[in-house]
Amino acid sequence: MTENKGSLKWRKRFFSYTELRRKRRTGAVLLRDILVAAERGAKKTHIMFGSNMNPLVLKRYLEFGMQHGLLTHYNREG
């Protein structure tokens, strides 16, 4: 039985994608995702969804980012 080259390419792409999804992100990658999500100013919820993190992990990384001057917090009025 011969395989279609197109389906083989699809399978390689699919499995490499699923392998990437199984790997844990490093702290640097998590922080990068937060910074990208918060680039133009965003609420905590938007950062959480944009960086695909749970609230407890996000809180820890937001505190780290603020302590090291990577992020600033300001209150919006109105």
Average confidence score pLDDT of the chain = 80
Query: 17 in a domain, yes or no?
Result: no
Calculate what percentage of the chain has a pLDDT beyond 70. 69
Residue 20 confidence (pLDDT): 56
Q: Is residue 2 part of a domain?
A: no
pLDDT band at 36 (very low <50, low <70, confident <90, very high): very high
Confidence band (pLDDT; 50, 70, 90) for 68?
A: very high
Half-sphere exposure of 72 (CA within 13 A, CB side): 5
Residue 57: name the closest of 47, 67, 43 by CA. Answer: 47
Alpha carbons 61 and 10: distance in angstroms, whole number: 36
The phi, psi pair for 7, rounded to 5°, reads -70, -30
Q: How many domains does the chain have?
A: 1
Confidence of residue 13 (pLDDT cuts 50, 70, 90): low
Flag whether 13 is in a domain. Answer: no
> Residue 54's domain spans which residues?
25-78
